[in-house]
Amino acid sequence: MKTRKFFRLIHREFGYFFAALTIIYGISGVALNHRNDWNPDMVITQYKDTLDDNINLVNVKKAEVESILKTLNLSEDYKSHYYPSENSLKIFLDISGGNGSVVINTETRICEVEKLERRYFFYPINQMHRNSFRKVWTWIADIFAVTLIVFAVTGMFMMKGKYQLSNYGIYRVIAGALIPLIFYFIYLF
């Protein structure tokens, strides 16, 4: 089998096999690149509420905390609570797909509620992209990384005629290599 034909075969077969993974890595890569603009893993909900004066907030036990949560229309499971300061009660919540907390100022009775819930689509693909799963996923990620190198190399040598690497392609390869090199030197110095 000729080299170009073999490269086309490898490029095509790996391309089909890894198409879904390439799309997942692309989507999660864009999401993770913009984590300063939004949280790609979690939906964060924050709001304030106020408790009535008749609710006891001093030395409360689990049953009283659960009653407070019902008053605040929080159906999440109680996890634990403590008093971080003299006039503050913090309640931890166990939310399906995340967690949360309620901080109550015992003097003003103002409650600050914060819920963190996983984004159903982005959370797992970001975990894959970061290799948070470890173990077997490390092997899959490494194989995929090597396959991307194979894509690049076979792609450069598949064409013949005026579009082959030695005529047309070399300028595109150089231009593509200059982009990361320029950024490398900008951030290095």
What are the tens digits of pLDDT across the range 124-183? 999 999 998 888 999 999 999 999 999 888 888 887 777 777 877 888 889 999 999 999
Phi/psi at 42 (nearest 5 deg)?
-130, 145
Q: Which of 17, 6, 1, 4 is nearest to 148 (CA)?
A: 17
What local confidence, expressed as pLDDT, does residue 1 receive? Answer: 67
Cα(147)–Cα(13) distance, integer angstroms: 11
Query: Does residue 122 register a pLDDT over 90?
Result: yes
* C-alpha to C-alpha distance for 104 and 51, rounded to whole angstroms: 9
pLDDT for residue 21:
93
Give the number of C-alpha atoms closer than 13 A to the C-alpha of residue 153, restricted to the C-beta side.
11
Q: Closest by alpha carbon to 70, among 111, 116, 118? A: 111
Residue in 38, 10, 42 with CA at minimum distance from that of residue 146:
10
Mean pLDDT of the chain: 90
For 54-67, write each residue's pLDDT tens digit: 888 888 999 999 99
Structure tokens at 24: 């997942």
pLDDT at 162: 78
Paired sense of beta strands 42-50 and 88-95, if any:
unpaired
Global model pTM greater than 0.75: no
What pLDDT sits at residue 5?
A: 86
For residue 53, give the amino acid letter: D
